[in-house]
Amino acid sequence: MKLLAKYLKPFVPRMLLGLSIKITGTMAELLLPMILSHVLKEVVAHQDVFAILRWGALMILCAAAAVIMNITANRMATRVSCNFSRAVRHDLFKRTLHLSPAQTDQFTIPSLESRITTDTYNVHQFVGMMQRMGVRAPILLVGGVCITLFMDRHLAMVMLATMPVVFILIFFISRKGVPLFSRVQTSVDNMIRVVREDTQGIRVIKALSKQDYEHRRYDAVNRALVKDEIRARTIMSMIHPVMSILMNCGIVGVVALAAVRVSAGASDPETVIAFMQYFTQISMALMTVTRIFTAYTKSAASARRIAEVLETPEDLQVLPEADLPCKDTTAHIEFDDVCFSYLGKKNNLDHISFSLPKGGWLGIIGATGSGKSTLVKLLLRFYDVSSGAVRINGRDVRTIPKPELYDMFGTAMQFDFLYADTIEENIKFGRPLTHEQVEQAAITAQAHNFITGFADGYGHMLAQKGTNISGGQKQRLLIARAVAADPDILVLDDSSSALDYKTDAALRQALAQRMQDTTVVTVAQRVSSIKNCDLILVLDEGNVIGAGDHEHLLATCAEYAEISESQMGGAFVE
């Protein structure tokens, strides 16, 4: 639980103040049975009404002080726990955004979502409970035991005899509960994964009438979660009834011994009444301790999962240029004998070499799974090469600081996202762009006409993931976002697949006119999208099987010629 200590450190002064108030209020609460015993034993015997009223007023004052101080301390504890969980969520989300794609794949998106939501909530609950009950319960427990030992040690020893059994029970059950709750959180990850998949694919599910199939798939993970939850909670729920039995046995023993001692004159009824009140407080304190340990088991499992993400070492670190010296070259982008494998077994890209000058256009085409997007990911340094080098302006991308590297790029992927905001904000994407820049980018991306067709124009609100516009409109907005800041390198990864041929041709002409000094990398399935590129790579199973311009490939690469003929019959829309 080092995570808690780290994030609670800034709140220590406020926590100490709250704990001081809580301690004072609890001590006032502890005085009530003792005052009552004194009143019954000493004051009532003298039949002094004013004395009884004075002591009664003191009891009311102690009770009021306990209530006010406990409420105040609880409010402070709530504020601390909320601010604590906000800080944890902030850092966890930030770290999640900085995970490399390989690390994200390892954790999985549903698991990261669960850690940011469910796990942080579990830790938040425990921190709040510890401040509200973690001080009060031990004080009532220890204070009550000390006072009862002072009042009647014989009766107190009967009660104390049950406590070792209780603490041993709590220890062993809690030890078993932590891994069980870790398993519960894994099941939550699986359920979130299915829900996420189904919500994203709801239209396909409806179109193919697969609601019943998906319901059965969800039911399977839901049942698995319930099974794990029942197993964990069954173990933890043993604490309460077993403790109740032990406490009741203790009460029976105390009553029996008290009756004997009162009959023998070794004790008095007033002491027994006060003792029973303390015993009730002690019993409630013990029950609270069990609740805290139950919360601890969930919190410990969740804190461990959160720490796994926060403590994940930085991947894809920037390497010193002394290890990878800059190369004197005129090429803007260069792949130098690049090999790459996702799993370290078989190369997904094999000995890829090419160079592209500043302002050049690169087209990449090939069958599904040929390595087109993988090549782009290496250029963007989402992954590091297994061997060889990827260079920009002669600098190995592994030596370029990430902010500097990513500022060079404008990127539009096939499955990029749009969020629930205006069209203008989606194009700006948090960057300090003027409305004129946004509008020019939309004109270049062939999006201006359909945007101005909306009554509110660039202020038109998009639904989450842009579900209230067509696929082609969505792609044009993504391209507008990519070109808006005039990047040095524009990457279009199959980002015009939903455009008709005429719009695609108009887009390419607009890009050529506006971005003459920008190096453009286009990944496409259609030959018409890349035919005018200066260099076209034809990939097949991670290998370059053809390289050159359109005319050269038609003459020398049978696969490219076949694709061209099958798509357009040799004719292209200009």
The predicted structure's pLDDT at residue 539 = 93
The predicted structure's pLDDT at residue 569 = 61
- Reduced to 3 states (helix: H, G, I; strand: E, B; else coil), residue 421 is coil
DSSP 553-566: HHHH-HHHHHHHHH
Q: Name the nearest CA neighbour of 266 among 258, 254, 274.
A: 258
Q: Name the nearest CA neighbour of 446 among 491, 507, 493, 402.
A: 507
Q: Name the nearest CA neighbour of 339 among 100, 102, 542, 539.
A: 542
The predicted structure's pLDDT at residue 549 = 92
Are the C-beta atoms of 370 and 545 separated by less than 8 Å?
no
**CA separation for the pair 542, 386 (Å, rounded):** 13
The predicted structure's pLDDT at residue 568 = 65
Retrieve residue 316's tokens.
């894809």
Retrieve residue 67's tokens.
């209530």
**CA separation for the pair 279, 140 (Å, rounded):** 10
The predicted structure's pLDDT at residue 460 = 92
The predicted structure's pLDDT at residue 573 = 43
Distance of CA 88 to the CA centre of its chain: 10
Retrieve residue 205's tokens.
């599910």
Are the C-beta atoms of 459 and 379 separated by less than 8 Å?
no
The predicted structure's pLDDT at residue 479 = 92
What is the arrangement of strands in the sheet containing 543-548, beginning at the earlier edge strand? 409-413, 489-493, 519-523, 361-366, 535-540, 543-548
If residue 364 lies in a helix (H) or strand (E), which one and from where to where? strand 361-366
Start-end of H helices in 464-528: 471-483, 501-514
**CA separation for the pair 506, 490 (Å, rounded):** 17
Retrieve residue 538's tokens.
């034809």
By the 10 Å C-beta count (0-12 exposed, 13-18 middle, 19+ buried), 236 is classed as buried
pLDDT tens per residue, range 287-334: 777 778 778 878 888 888 899 999 998 888 899 988 899 988 889 999
Distance of CA 502 to the CA centre of its chain: 43
Q: What's the residue count for the chain?
A: 574
What count of other Cβ atoms lies within 10 Å of the Cβ of residue 248? 12
C-beta pairs of 256-261 under 8 Å, 24+ apart in sequence: 257/154, 257/155, 257/158, 258/155, 261/152, 261/154, 261/155
Q: Angle at the Cα of 309 (from 308 to 313), degrees rounded to 5?
A: 90
**CA separation for the pair 443, 466 (Å, rounded):** 19
Delineate the domains of the chain, giving CATH numbers in brackets.
2-310 (1.20.1560.10), 416-486 (3.40.50.300)
The predicted structure's pLDDT at residue 387 = 93
Q: What's the distance, Cα to Cα, between the start and end of the chain in Å?
A: 64
pLDDT tens per residue, range 146-203: 877 777 777 778 777 777 777 777 777 767 766 777 788 788 888 888 887 787 777 6
The predicted structure's pLDDT at residue 193 = 82
Mean pLDDT by 10 residues, the chain (574 residues): 81 89 86 79 75 87 90 90 92 90 86 88 88 81 78 76 75 73 81 79 74 86 87 76 75 80 77 75 76 80 89 88 89 94 86 93 90 92 92 94 91 82 92 92 92 92 85 90 92 84 88 89 89 92 92 91 77 45
- Reduced to 3 states (helix: H, G, I; strand: E, B; else coil), residue 350 is strand
Q: Name the nearest CA neighbour of 465 among 504, 498, 421, 495.
A: 421
